[in-house]
Structure 1
Amino acid sequence: MVSACAYSGAYPTGYGRYAKNTEGVPEEMFDRLQASGFTHFQQSGTGAIRKYYNYVRVTPMVQPLDDLGQSWSLADEEASPGYYAATLDTGIRCEVTVGQKVAVHRYTFPQHSSARVVVDLSCGGLAIDLGRTVPLRAQVENIGHGQVQGTVVMEGVPLSVYVDVDAPGWRQMLWYDRRLIDGGTRLDFDSIRHTTLRPFGMLYMGPTRAGQTIEVRMGFSLRGCDQAKRNLERECGLGQPSFEIVKLRTRARWADHLDRVKVDGGTPARQTVYATALYHSLIKPCIVDDESPFWPSNGPYAFDVCTMWDIYKTQLPLLMAIAPDRASGLLESLIRVCEEEGNFPIGYRMARGADRFFRQGSALAHTALADAHALDLDGIEWSWALVHMADDLRRMYGEDFFEHGVVHPITHTLDLAYGHHLTAQLARALNDTRLADDLARRAHGWVNAFDPGTGLLRDSEFYEGGKWNYSFRLLHDMAARIALAGGDAGFIDKLDRFFGYGAAPVKQAGRRPQPVEMAAGYALNRFEGLNNEPDMEAPWAYHYAGRPDRTAEVVHSALTWQFGTGPGGLPGNDDSGGLSSWYIWASLGLFPVAGQNLFLINAPAFERAALRVREGEFVIETSGLREAPISSDGAEHEPPVQYVQSATLNGRPLDAAHLTAATVHRGGRLHLRLGPEPSGWGRGVRPPSLSDSPALSEETR
Structure 2
Amino acid sequence: MRDRQFFAATRAPLAVAAALLVAGAAPPAVAHRAASPRTAISDPAQYVNPFVGTKPGGIDYGNGGGAGNTFPGATAPLGMMQWSPDTVTYQHGGYFYDDQRIRGFSLTHISGAGCGDYGNIPFMPFLGDTPVAHETFSHAHESAAPGSYAVTFDNGLRTELTTTQRSGMARFSYPAGQAASLLVDAGRAFNKASGSVTVGTDTISGYTDGGGFCGAGNHYRIYFTAHFDQPFAKAGTVRDGALDASRHTATGQSEGIAPQPPRSAQAQRLRQPTELVHPDAPATGSDAQAMVTFAPGSTVTARVGISFTSAAGAEANLDREQAGAGFDKLRDGVRSNWNDMLARIAVSGGTTQQKRTFYTALYHSLLSPCALSDVDGQYPGMDGQVHQNPDGKVQYADFSGWDVYRSQIQLLALLAPKEASDVAQSVLNQGAQAGYFDRWTLANGGTGVMVGDPLPMIAAEIHAFGGTDFDAADLLSRALDGRGNDKERPGHAVYDNQGFLPVNTPGEWGPAAGTLEYATADFALSQLAERLGDREDHDALLHASANWRNTFNADSKYIQPRTADHTWPSFNPNSGDNFAEGNGAQYTWNVPYNQRGLFDAMGGNASVTNRLDSFFQQLDAGPGAPYAYLGNEPSLFAPWAYDYAGRPDRTDDVVRSAVTTLFGDTPGGEVGNDDLGEMGSWAVWGMIGLFPMVPGRAELVLGSPLFQGITISRGNGAIIDIKARNASADARYVHGLRVGGQASTRPWVSADLVGQGGTLDFDLATTPDPSWGHDPKDAPPSFDVGPARAASGPITGLGGKCLDVDQGAGPTVQLWGCNGTNAQRWTLAGDGTVQAAGKCLDVDGSGTAAGTVVQAWPCNGTGAQQWWPRPDGSLFNPPSGRCLDDPQSRTDDGTRVQLWDCNGTGAQHWVMLNH
Q: TM-score, normalised by structure 1?
A: 0.85
2:713 to 588, 612, 616: 612
1:133 counterpart = 2:133: no
Cα deviation per residue 1:573-603 (whole Å; 9 max; x = unaligned)? 1111111111111110101123222100121
Between the two proteins, what is the percent identity of the paired residues? 27
1:582 counterpart = 2:682: yes
Q: Which residue pairs with 2:626 in the alignment?
A: 525
Whole-Å Cα distance in 2 between the matches of residues 551 and 680 of structure 1? 14
Q: Which residue pairs with 1:70 in the alignment?
A: 134
CA contact (8 A) 1:219 1:232 kept: yes
Whole-Å Cα distance in 2 between the matches of residues 154 and 441 of structure 1? 42
1:398 counterpart = 2:492: yes
2:334 to 236, 250, 262: 250
Q: Matches of residues 256-655 of structure 1 in structure 2 within 5 Å?
A: 256-289=340-373, 290-292=378-380, 294-299=384-389, 300-305=394-399, 307-350=400-443, 352=445, 354-357=446-449, 360-394=450-484, 395-408=489-502, 409-459=511-561, 461-500=578-617, 524-528=625-629, 530-593=630-693, 594-613=695-714, 614-625=716-727, 627-628=728-729, 640=730, 642-655=732-745
CA contact (8 A) 2:111 2:674 kept: yes
Whole-Å Cα distance in 1 between the matches of residues 669 and 654 of structure 2? 18
Q: Which residue pairs with 1:60 in the alignment?
A: 125
CA contact (8 A) 2:739 2:761 kept: yes
2:308 to 222, 225, 229: 222
Residues 335 and 59 (structure 1 numbering): CA distance in 2 closer, same or farther, change over 3 Å?
same
Q: Matches of residues 28-107 of structure 1 in structure 2 within 5 Å?
A: 32-47=99-114, 49-50=115-116, 52-65=117-130, 67-75=131-139, 76-107=141-172
Cα deviation per residue 1:111-150 (whole Å; 9 max; x = unaligned)? 135211221112210xxxxxx4231xx3333343x12321
1:682 to 773, 794, 799: 773
2:289 to 201, 218, 240: 201
- 1:45 is displaced (CA, Å) by 1.9
- 1:571 is displaced (CA, Å) by 2.0
Instruction: Classify the secondary structure of the residue corresponding to 1:153.
Output: strand
Instruction: Classify the secondary structure of the residue corresponding to 1:447.
Output: helix
1:6 to 85, 88, 101: 85
- 1:74 is displaced (CA, Å) by 4.0
Instruction: Classify the secondary structure of the residue corresponding to 1:105.
Output: strand
Q: Which residue pairs with 2:55 in the alignment?
A: none
Residues 403 and 480 (structure 1 numbering): CA distance in 2 closer, same or farther, change over 3 Å?
same
- 1:402 is displaced (CA, Å) by 1.3
1:120 counterpart = 2:160: no
What letter is aligned with 1:229?
E
Residues 177 and 570 (structure 1 numbering): CA distance in 2 closer, same or farther, change over 3 Å?
same
CA contact (8 A) 2:169 2:302 kept: yes
Whole-Å Cα distance in 1 between the matches of residues 363 and 226 of structure 2? 29
- 1:474 is displaced (CA, Å) by 4.1
- 1:62 is displaced (CA, Å) by 1.0
Instruction: Classify the secondary structure of the residue corresponding to 1:60.
Output: strand
Q: TM-score, normalised by structure 2?
A: 0.66
What letter is aligned with 1:154?
G
Q: Which residue pairs with 2:760 in the alignment?
A: 670
What letter is aligned with 2:293?
M
CA contact (8 A) 1:215 1:241 kept: no
Cα deviation per residue 1:350-399 (whole Å; 9 max; x = unaligned)? 474x5331xx3312223332233334423211220111111222321333
Whole-Å Cα distance in 2 between the matches of residues 404 and 647 of structure 1? 45
Whole-Å Cα distance in 2 between the matches of residues 251 and 545 of structure 1? 44
Q: Which residue pairs with 1:698 in the alignment?
A: none
What letter is aligned with 1:203?
M
Instruction: Classify the secondary structure of the residue corresponding to 2:677.
Output: helix
Whole-Å Cα distance in 1 between the matches of residues 682 and 669 of structure 2? 14
Cα deviation per residue 1:464-485 (whole Å; 9 max; x = unaligned)? 1101111112432222211111
Whole-Å Cα distance in 2 between the matches of residues 165 and 298 of structure 1? 30
Instruction: Classify the secondary structure of the residue corresponding to 2:123.
Output: strand
What letter is aligned with 1:175?
V
Residues 199 and 90 (structure 1 numbering): CA distance in 2 closer, same or farther, change over 3 Å?
farther
Residues 16 and 372 (structure 1 numbering): CA distance in 2 closer, same or farther, change over 3 Å?
closer
Whole-Å Cα distance in 2 between the matches of residues 44 and 336 of structure 1? 23
Whole-Å Cα distance in 2 between the matches of residues 599 and 180 of structure 1? 60
- 1:12 is displaced (CA, Å) by 2.6
CA contact (8 A) 1:62 1:112 kept: no
Structure 1 stretch displaced more, 92-101 or 409-418: 409-418
Whole-Å Cα distance in 2 between the matches of residues 333 and 485 of structure 1? 40
CA contact (8 A) 1:344 1:363 kept: yes
Instruction: Classify the secondary structure of the residue corresponding to 1:575.
Output: coil
2:222 to 155, 159, 175: 159
Instruction: Classify the secondary structure of the residue corresponding to 1:423.
Output: helix
What letter is aligned with 2:292?
Y
Instruction: Classify the secondary structure of the residue corresponding to 1:565.
Output: coil
CA contact (8 A) 1:73 1:89 kept: yes
What letter is aligned with 1:141?
T
What letter is aligned with 2:428?
I
Cα deviation per residue 1:172-222 (whole Å; 9 max; x = unaligned)? 323344343324343356x9889998432222213223xx31001111011
Residues 295 and 322 (structure 1 numbering): CA distance in 2 closer, same or farther, change over 3 Å?
same
Q: Any unmatched runs of 5+ in structure 2?
A: 1-79, 212-218, 257-281, 503-510, 562-576, 790-915
Whole-Å Cα distance in 1 between the matches of residues 167 and 544 of structure 2? 48
Whole-Å Cα distance in 1 between the matches of residues 524 and 372 of structure 2? 28
Structure 1 stretch displaced more, 530-539 or 151-160: 151-160
1:180 counterpart = 2:211: no
Cα deviation per residue 1:598-641 (whole Å; 9 max; x = unaligned)? 1001211111111111233101102233x32xxxxxxxxxxx45
Cα deviation per residue 1:644-678 (whole Å; 9 max; x = unaligned)? 11211111122211112342342111001122231
Instruction: Classify the secondary structure of the residue corresponding to 1:36.
Output: strand
Q: Which residue pairs with 1:631 in the alignment?
A: none
- 1:169 is displaced (CA, Å) by 6.1
Cα deviation per residue 1:671-691 (whole Å; 9 max; x = unaligned)? 011222314222221111123
- 1:14 is displaced (CA, Å) by 4.8
Greater share of residues in helix: 1
RMSD in angstroms over aligned alpha carbons?
A: 2.5
- 1:88 is displaced (CA, Å) by 0.8
Instruction: Classify the secondary structure of the residue corresponding to 1:371.
Output: helix
Cα deviation per residue 1:298-343 (whole Å; 9 max; x = unaligned)? 23333322x1122111111110111112222221111111111122
- 1:168 is displaced (CA, Å) by 4.1
Which structure has the larger Rg?
Answer: 2
- 1:437 is displaced (CA, Å) by 3.1
CA contact (8 A) 1:115 1:207 kept: yes
Whole-Å Cα distance in 2 between the matches of residues 324 and 548 of structure 1? 30
Cα deviation per residue 1:274-307 (whole Å; 9 max; x = unaligned)? 12111111112213433326332223333322x1
Whole-Å Cα distance in 1 between the matches of residues 306 and 451 of structure 2? 32
How many equivalent pairs are there? Answer: 633
CA contact (8 A) 2:647 2:770 kept: no
Residues 235 and 567 (structure 1 numbering): CA distance in 2 closer, same or farther, change over 3 Å?
closer
Residues 87 and 188 (structure 1 numbering): CA distance in 2 closer, same or farther, change over 3 Å?
closer
Instruction: Classify the secondary structure of the residue corresponding to 2:179.
Output: strand
- 1:523 is displaced (CA, Å) by 5.7
